[in-house]
Amino acid sequence: MRKTKEEAEITRKRIIDSSAKIFSEYGYSAARLEDIAKEAHVTRGAIYWHFTNKADILQKLIIERFSIIYGIIQNILGENIDPLQKLKRILITILKSLESNQKLREIINIIIFKVEVITEIEYQMIDKRKDNKKRIEIIHALIKQAQSSGMIKGELNSYTVAISLNCFLEGIITQWLIDPSLFSITEKVESMIELFLNGIVT
Protein backbone atom coordinates (compact mmCIF):
# COMPACT_ATOMS: atom_id res chain seq x y z
CA MET A 1 0.00 0.00 0.00
CA ARG A 2 2.85 2.37 0.86
CA LYS A 3 4.42 1.82 -2.54
CA THR A 4 1.08 2.45 -4.24
CA LYS A 5 0.67 5.80 -2.44
CA GLU A 6 4.22 6.79 -3.34
CA GLU A 7 3.64 5.91 -7.00
CA ALA A 8 0.37 7.89 -7.00
CA GLU A 9 2.20 10.93 -5.59
CA ILE A 10 4.91 10.59 -8.24
CA THR A 11 2.21 10.54 -10.93
CA ARG A 12 0.46 13.57 -9.42
CA LYS A 13 3.71 15.54 -9.37
CA ARG A 14 4.46 14.54 -12.95
CA ILE A 15 1.03 15.84 -14.01
CA ILE A 16 1.62 19.10 -12.13
CA ASP A 17 5.05 19.62 -13.71
CA SER A 18 3.73 18.73 -17.16
CA SER A 19 0.80 21.13 -16.80
CA ALA A 20 3.26 23.94 -16.01
CA LYS A 21 5.12 23.21 -19.24
CA ILE A 22 1.93 23.04 -21.30
CA PHE A 23 0.41 26.19 -19.77
CA SER A 24 3.70 27.99 -20.43
CA GLU A 25 3.75 26.87 -24.05
CA TYR A 26 0.10 27.25 -25.07
CA GLY A 27 -1.46 29.49 -22.41
CA TYR A 28 -4.15 28.28 -20.03
CA SER A 29 -7.15 28.61 -22.38
CA ALA A 30 -5.54 26.82 -25.32
CA ALA A 31 -4.00 24.04 -23.24
CA ARG A 32 -5.87 20.73 -23.36
CA LEU A 33 -5.95 17.87 -20.90
CA GLU A 34 -4.82 15.67 -23.80
CA ASP A 35 -1.68 17.80 -24.11
CA ILE A 36 -0.96 17.50 -20.38
CA ALA A 37 -1.59 13.74 -20.41
CA LYS A 38 0.76 13.27 -23.35
CA GLU A 39 3.49 15.35 -21.75
CA ALA A 40 3.12 13.48 -18.45
CA HIS A 41 2.90 10.07 -20.19
CA VAL A 42 -0.39 9.26 -18.46
CA THR A 43 -3.99 8.74 -19.52
CA ARG A 44 -6.81 11.28 -19.13
CA GLY A 45 -8.21 8.87 -16.56
CA ALA A 46 -5.06 9.28 -14.47
CA ILE A 47 -5.51 13.04 -14.58
CA TYR A 48 -9.13 12.78 -13.42
CA TRP A 49 -8.04 10.46 -10.62
CA HIS A 50 -5.92 13.26 -9.15
CA PHE A 51 -7.70 16.42 -10.35
CA THR A 52 -11.29 17.52 -11.00
CA ASN A 53 -10.54 19.46 -14.19
CA LYS A 54 -8.03 21.80 -15.82
CA ALA A 55 -8.89 24.64 -13.42
CA ASP A 56 -8.18 22.36 -10.48
CA ILE A 57 -4.76 21.53 -11.94
CA LEU A 58 -3.98 25.25 -12.20
CA GLN A 59 -5.08 25.86 -8.62
CA LYS A 60 -2.91 23.04 -7.27
CA LEU A 61 0.00 24.24 -9.41
CA ILE A 62 -0.30 27.76 -7.98
CA ILE A 63 -0.51 26.49 -4.40
CA GLU A 64 2.43 24.12 -4.78
CA ARG A 65 4.76 26.53 -6.55
CA PHE A 66 3.91 29.55 -4.38
CA SER A 67 4.77 27.49 -1.32
CA ILE A 68 8.38 28.12 -2.42
CA ILE A 69 7.94 31.82 -1.67
CA TYR A 70 6.30 31.22 1.69
CA GLY A 71 9.02 28.78 2.64
CA ILE A 72 11.55 31.55 1.99
CA ILE A 73 9.53 34.07 4.00
CA GLN A 74 8.99 31.80 7.00
CA ASN A 75 12.67 30.87 7.17
CA ILE A 76 13.74 34.52 7.19
CA LEU A 77 11.04 35.57 9.68
CA GLY A 78 12.51 33.03 12.06
CA GLU A 79 16.02 34.53 11.88
CA ASN A 80 17.39 36.56 14.78
CA ILE A 81 17.80 39.83 12.88
CA ASP A 82 16.02 43.19 13.04
CA PRO A 83 12.79 43.79 11.04
CA LEU A 84 14.44 45.99 8.42
CA GLN A 85 17.06 43.31 7.70
CA LYS A 86 14.30 40.70 7.51
CA LEU A 87 12.45 42.84 4.99
CA LYS A 88 15.57 43.30 2.85
CA ARG A 89 16.43 39.59 2.97
CA ILE A 90 12.91 38.54 2.03
CA LEU A 91 12.79 40.85 -0.99
CA ILE A 92 16.31 40.01 -2.17
CA THR A 93 15.93 36.26 -1.66
CA ILE A 94 12.58 36.09 -3.47
CA LEU A 95 13.99 37.99 -6.44
CA LYS A 96 17.18 35.94 -6.61
CA SER A 97 15.08 32.76 -6.39
CA LEU A 98 13.15 33.93 -9.44
CA GLU A 99 16.38 33.77 -11.42
CA SER A 100 17.67 30.51 -9.91
CA ASN A 101 14.47 28.50 -9.37
CA GLN A 102 12.91 27.39 -12.65
CA LYS A 103 9.68 26.18 -11.02
CA LEU A 104 9.05 29.50 -9.31
CA ARG A 105 9.89 31.45 -12.45
CA GLU A 106 7.58 29.22 -14.48
CA ILE A 107 4.47 29.72 -12.31
CA ILE A 108 4.91 33.49 -12.05
CA ASN A 109 5.33 33.70 -15.82
CA ILE A 110 2.16 31.64 -16.28
CA ILE A 111 0.10 33.82 -13.94
CA ILE A 112 1.29 37.11 -15.44
CA PHE A 113 1.37 36.25 -19.14
CA LYS A 114 -0.37 32.94 -19.79
CA VAL A 115 -3.65 33.05 -17.86
CA GLU A 116 -6.72 34.89 -19.11
CA VAL A 117 -9.14 35.88 -16.34
CA ILE A 118 -12.22 33.89 -17.31
CA THR A 119 -15.13 32.53 -15.28
CA GLU A 120 -13.67 29.01 -15.31
CA ILE A 121 -10.69 30.05 -13.18
CA GLU A 122 -12.29 32.84 -11.15
CA TYR A 123 -11.66 31.00 -7.88
CA GLN A 124 -8.02 30.39 -8.75
CA MET A 125 -7.54 34.12 -9.31
CA ILE A 126 -9.26 34.81 -5.99
CA ASP A 127 -6.65 32.53 -4.40
CA LYS A 128 -3.92 34.46 -6.22
CA ARG A 129 -5.29 37.74 -4.83
CA LYS A 130 -5.32 36.21 -1.34
CA ASP A 131 -1.66 35.27 -1.79
CA ASN A 132 -0.90 38.84 -2.83
CA LYS A 133 -2.69 40.27 0.21
CA LYS A 134 -0.91 37.81 2.49
CA ARG A 135 2.47 38.95 1.17
CA ILE A 136 1.49 42.61 1.63
CA GLU A 137 0.40 41.89 5.21
CA ILE A 138 3.79 40.33 5.98
CA ILE A 139 5.60 43.32 4.47
CA HIS A 140 3.28 45.67 6.35
CA ALA A 141 3.98 43.97 9.69
CA LEU A 142 7.74 44.24 9.18
CA ILE A 143 7.46 47.91 8.22
CA LYS A 144 5.43 48.66 11.37
CA GLN A 145 8.01 46.84 13.49
CA ALA A 146 10.81 48.78 11.82
CA GLN A 147 8.94 52.04 12.45
CA SER A 148 8.51 51.14 16.12
CA SER A 149 12.26 50.55 16.30
CA GLY A 150 12.99 53.90 14.67
CA MET A 151 14.46 52.33 11.53
CA ILE A 152 11.79 53.60 9.12
CA LYS A 153 10.31 57.11 9.13
CA GLY A 154 7.43 57.14 11.59
CA GLU A 155 5.43 59.79 9.69
CA LEU A 156 4.95 57.47 6.70
CA ASN A 157 1.73 55.51 6.36
CA SER A 158 2.94 51.95 6.90
CA TYR A 159 0.28 50.35 4.69
CA THR A 160 0.96 52.75 1.83
CA VAL A 161 4.65 51.89 2.08
CA ALA A 162 3.81 48.16 2.03
CA ILE A 163 1.63 48.53 -1.08
CA SER A 164 4.30 50.63 -2.81
CA LEU A 165 7.03 48.13 -1.97
CA ASN A 166 4.93 45.24 -3.24
CA CYS A 167 4.29 47.12 -6.50
CA PHE A 168 8.02 47.82 -6.77
CA LEU A 169 8.73 44.11 -6.27
CA GLU A 170 6.17 43.02 -8.88
CA GLY A 171 7.42 45.64 -11.31
CA ILE A 172 10.96 44.24 -11.12
CA ILE A 173 9.62 40.72 -11.63
CA THR A 174 7.47 41.67 -14.61
CA GLN A 175 10.20 43.67 -16.34
CA TRP A 176 12.72 40.88 -15.89
CA LEU A 177 10.33 38.22 -17.20
CA ILE A 178 9.59 40.35 -20.26
CA ASP A 179 13.29 40.78 -21.02
CA PRO A 180 15.84 38.96 -18.83
CA SER A 181 18.64 40.55 -20.84
CA LEU A 182 17.62 43.97 -19.50
CA PHE A 183 19.41 43.34 -16.20
CA SER A 184 20.79 40.56 -14.03
CA ILE A 185 18.76 40.05 -10.86
CA THR A 186 21.79 38.56 -9.11
CA GLU A 187 23.91 41.61 -9.92
CA LYS A 188 21.33 44.40 -9.54
CA VAL A 189 18.70 43.32 -7.02
CA GLU A 190 20.46 44.48 -3.86
CA SER A 191 21.13 47.97 -5.19
CA MET A 192 17.55 48.18 -6.53
CA ILE A 193 16.07 47.28 -3.14
CA GLU A 194 18.43 49.71 -1.39
CA LEU A 195 17.33 52.45 -3.79
CA PHE A 196 13.73 52.03 -2.66
CA LEU A 197 14.48 51.61 1.04
CA ASN A 198 16.74 54.68 1.12
CA GLY A 199 13.61 56.76 0.61
CA ILE A 200 11.89 55.43 3.75
CA VAL A 201 14.64 54.70 6.29
CA THR A 202 15.60 57.19 8.97
Residue 39 belongs to a domain: yes
Question: Which residue range forms the structural domain that includes residue 91?
Answer: 59-197
Instruction: For residues 65 and 92, state if they share a domain.
Output: yes
The string of pLDDT tens digits covering residues 98-152 is 999 999 999 999 988 998 765 556 655 666 677 788 889 999 999 999 999 999 9
Q: Is 27 exposed, middle or buried (0-12, 13-18, 19+ CB in 10 A)?
A: middle
- Cα–Cα dist 34/47, whole Å: 10
pLDDT beneath 50: ranges in the chain = 1
Instruction: Name the β-bridge partners of 201.
Output: 152
Residue 1: the pLDDT is: 46
Asked whether residue 41 is domain-assigned, the answer is yes
- Clarify whether residues 80 and 10 are in a common domain: no
